[in-house]
Amino acid sequence: MNHSSKETNQQVASRTPIPLELTRLIIDECHSDIHTLGECSLVCKYWMLIARYHLFSDVKISGNRRLLHRFSGLLSSLLCTFSCFVRSLSMRYIEPKDVNLTLPKFTGLLEITNMTLHTTPSSFAMQFISPSSLATLCSFSHLTILDLTVYFQQFSHFTEIVSGFPKLEDLRAEVNFANPASWDISHRPSAHLHSLRVTWSTVDILQWLLSLRPVPAIKNLDVSADSNPNIHFIGKYLQSVGDKLKTFTLSCYNVVDGLEHVYQDFNLAVNTTLQSMALNSYFMPPILIEYLISQLNSPDFRELKLESFCLGVGGWHSVDRQLSEIFSLRRFMIICSYIDPIVSEEEVRAAFPRCNDRGILNIQYEVDDL
C-alpha cells in the first residue's frame, strides 16, 4: 500500500513542473474557498488529501437539526472517508434529544482537538445528556479545547468529562445540573489546563477545584459572579493560585450590595505575576474597580481592560490616579457599552487625563449584534 502511494506521488510529480511541497502550499492558500477545494479534490489522490483536510477539518452545525442528522448518517456509513480529517467540531443551539441521537455515532472522529457543544432547553420536557453521549465525549482523547453549554443530570458527569481529557488546555463552561453538586475526588482536570472560563455554576466548579490536592493552578481565569458566595470562592481560588496567575477576567452581576464581601475575600496582592486584568464594569462602581487596582502587586502587570464601560455619575479620576502609579502598565483599554447613551471619546479621555497623557488609553465601542 505504501509502495502504491509513493508511485502515485511520483506520477503526479512527473506530470507537473511544480514540486509537491509547493502544490500543498498553493492549495493551503485556498483554505476558505470551498468551491476551489472541491475542484482540487477531484484532480488526483495527492490533491484530494490536501483539499479534504481543509474541507472537513472544521465542522460547524448551528441550530440545523436536519444537517446534524445528515452528518451523523455520513459518519456512521461504512463508506465514510472524511472522518480522519475532522479536527474541530462545533454543535450550537442543538436540543439534548438530538445530541443523544447523533453524538454516539461520532466515535470515528478520533483526531478532534477542539469541541464546542451548546445545547438548548428541550421544547417539551427536561432532557439531559445521555450516558452514551457522555461516553462518546470522553472518547475524544486528543481534545485540547472544550466549550460546553450543557444541562447535566449530575454535576459529577461534568467533572468526569473534564477529567477524561489528558491533553485539555482550554475549558469554557456554562453548565447547570439537576441534582446537588457532588463529585468523585478522582476526577481531576488535565495538568495541561491553563485557561478556564466559567459563566455559570461558578461556585460548584471552583469548589471542585479547591477540593483537589494539590489545587490545580490555572494561569488564565475568566469567571462570572452574581452572588456573594461566588465572590467568596473566586477570592479563595485566587489565593490558592498565588503567583501562578497570569490573566484574570471578572464579570459581576448584581453584587453591588455585597461590596464588603469583595473587600474581605479578594486579595490580588498574592498574584505577583499577574500580567493583565479585564473587568466587566457595567455593574461595578468605580470604588470597587479602584479597590481591585490598589491590590495589584505584580511588576509584570501590563494591561487593564474595562468592558461594557459606562461613564455614569463619575468617580473615575480616582481610578485614573491609581493607574498612573502603575509604571509597568502599557495598555488601558476601555470598551464603551452600547446599552447606555454612547459617550464621546473626548468625554472618556477627560475622565482619565493621566492615562491619556501617558498614551496608554485605548477606546473602543461595543457592537450590538442584535
Provide the strand spans (E) within 23-175: 58-62, 88-94, 114-119, 145-149, 151-152, 170-174
Q: Are 112 and 138 in contact (CB under 8 A)?
A: no
Nearest to 148 by CA among 114, 178, 110: 114
Residue 9 lies in a domain: yes
Residue 166 lies in a domain: no
User: Cell 488609553, residue?
Assistant: 361
Residue 61 lies in a domain: no
Which pLDDT value is given to residue 257?
52
Backbone torsion region of residue 359, taken as left when φ is above 0, otherwise alpha when ψ lies between -120 and 50, otherwise beta: left
Residue 73 lies in a domain: no
Domain count, the chain: 2
325-348 pLDDT per residue, tens: 999 999 999 998 876 667 888 999
Q: Which residues on neighbouring strands pair with residue 61, listed in sequence order?
A: 91
Residue 109 has pLDDT above 50, yes or no: yes
- Reported as half-sphere exposure (CB side, CA atoms, 13 A), residue 304 has a value of 24
Average pLDDT, the chain: 86
Which pLDDT value is given to residue 107?
87
Angle (nearest 5°) at CA 195 between 110 and 263 = 155
Domain interval for residue 261:
217-370
Question: What does the alpha-carbon distance between residue 281 and residue 293 come to, in Å, rounded to a whole number?
Answer: 13
Q: Are 303 and 330 in contact (CB under 8 A)?
A: yes
User: Cell 439531559, residue?
Assistant: 128
Of the residues 38, 56, 74, the one at which a domain ends: 56
Contacts with 223 (C-beta within 8 Å, 6 or more apart), sequence order: 196, 197, 198, 202, 206, 230, 234, 249, 250, 251
Residue 282 lies in a domain: yes
Residue 116 lies in a domain: no
CATH number of residue 314's parent domain: 3.80.10
Q: What cell does 352 get?
A: 482619565
Residue 86 lies in a domain: no
291-329 pLDDT per residue, tens: 889 999 899 999 999 998 888 767 899 999 999 999 999
Residue 7 lies in a domain: yes
pTM: 0.85
Average pLDDT over residues 223-242: 86
